[in-house]
Amino acid sequence: MRRTYIAGNWKMNKTATEGVELANELKAAVAGCNAKVLVAPPFTTIPAVKEVLAGSNILVGAQNMSDNESGAHTGEISPAMLKDLGVDVVILGHSERRAIYGENDAFINRKVKLALSYGFEVILCIGETLEERESGKAEAVCLTQLVGGLEGVAKEDMANIVIAYEPVWAIGTGKTATPEDADSIHAFIRKEVEKLFDKQAADDVIIQYGGSVKPDNVKDLMAKENIDGALVGGASLKSELFVPIVTFDK
Ligand code: 13P
């Protein structure tokens, strides 16, 4: 049985002061909810949010991580730095990292393996652009990103891998994939995980949907067999939007 997993990617929003305010609101409002819950604040906001959420049911993640352990990498954040803050999860391969900062599958794969070696749970993001979808390449693009991101990952490590399917055309646009379209790609991803590993890994892997998830569409998305959770951007920045998403089943 896969547990619903709702994650909030704050992207480059919320100073530490603002993050504390939001974390305090969430802490009280989602206590005792059924879903596994994560927030991923910007690096500099993590310590303050972590302090607020200590002892709560909300995990704290990072939005990125270096592919190196230490040294001359100006501006980067190492796995040990995140571990030291008590970070549990790292989001890797987000489409904004791919599109704006030129991250490719080989680079993301190095980070995935490094993060796993430090015991992080990894949310690996994959998804096609509108052009790719319209030219019938959605599955092929997702497959390339899935296989590239998971290259060399051991079957046992799949327990610490979450896949987030985020069609680029649905991110921040207000255009959500229909539950049917999203479920169809999720089913495809699950089948490919089975081919890469085995049936158990495929049955167990959590596949989140991301792209304009809101309180009014979360229920229909989560009702689909292969949609196990959500990676929420814009709507994770306000408790009045994120709380109803996390508690959609109440
Ligand atoms: P939005 O929910 O703002 O579309 O963002 C989705 C996303 O990119 C989460 O990682």
Span 92-120, average pLDDT: 98
Cβ atoms of 164 and 202 closer than 8 Å: no
The CATH code belonging to domain 5-246 is 3.20.20.70
Regarding the beta carbon of 233 and ligand 1, being less than 6 Å apart is answered: yes
- Per the residue annotation, which of 96, 103, 166, 192 is the catalytic one? 166
Cβ atoms of 189 and 207 closer than 8 Å: yes
Question: Which tokens belong to 105?
Answer: 């599958």
Q: Which atom of ligand 1 is nearest to the CA of 212?
A: 4
Regarding the beta carbon of 48 and ligand 1, being less than 6 Å apart is answered: no
Regarding the beta carbon of 212 and ligand 1, being less than 6 Å apart is answered: yes
169-181 per-residue burial string, b: 16 or more CB within 10 A, e: under 16: bbbeeeebbebee
Q: Is 94 known to be catalytic? A: yes
The alpha carbon of 62 and the centre of ligand 1 are apart by a number of angstroms equal to 15
Q: Which atom of ligand 1 is nearest to the CA of 95?
A: 8
Regarding the beta carbon of 127 and ligand 1, being less than 6 Å apart is answered: no
Choose the weakest-confidence range: 83-87, 137-141, 175-179.
175-179
- Rounded CA-CA distance 240/23 in Å is 12
Which helix (H) or strand (E) segment holds residue 227: the answer is none
Q: How far out from the chain centre does Cα 144 lie? A: 18
- Rounded CA-CA distance 238/215 in Å is 11
Place of tokens 């190196």: 68
Burial class (CB in 10 A: 0-12, 13-18, 19+), 189: buried
- Rounded CA-CA distance 27/107 in Å is 35
Place of tokens 């892997």: 205
Maximum pairwise Cα distance, the chain: 49
Regarding the beta carbon of 8 and ligand 1, being less than 6 Å apart is answered: no
Domain boundaries, the chain: 5-246
Average pLDDT of the chain? 97
92: three-class secondary structure by DSSP: strand
Backbone angles phi, psi at 8, to 5 degrees: -110, 120
Q: With 0.95 as the threshold, say if the pTM is over it.
A: yes
Q: Which atom of ligand 1 is nearest to the CA of 170?
A: 4
pLDDT at 210: 97
Regarding the beta carbon of 245 and ligand 1, being less than 6 Å apart is answered: no
Indicate which residue's Cα is closest to atom 2 of ligand 1: 233
Cβ atoms of 89 and 38 closer than 8 Å: yes
Residue range 60-71, pLDDT digits in tens: 999 999 999 999
pLDDT at 174: 87
Q: Is 186 known to be catalytic? A: no
Residue range 2-11, pLDDT digits in tens: 999 999 999 9
Residue type, 8: G
- Per the residue annotation, which of 94, 128, 132, 192 is the catalytic one? 94
pLDDT at 157: 98
Binning pLDDT at 50, 70 and 90, where does residue 91 land?
A: very high
Residue range 126-164, pLDDT digits in tens: 999 999 999 999 999 999 999 999 999 999 999 999 999
Which helix (H) or strand (E) segment holds residue 141: the answer is helix 138-150
Residue range 11-46, pLDDT digits in tens: 999 999 999 999 999 999 999 999 999 999 999 999
Binning pLDDT at 50, 70 and 90, where does residue 175 land?
A: confident
Place of tokens 């998804």: 127
Please report, rounded to a whole number, the percentage of residues in the chain having pLDDT higher than 70.
100
Cβ atoms of 60 and 86 closer than 8 Å: yes
pLDDT at 1: 82
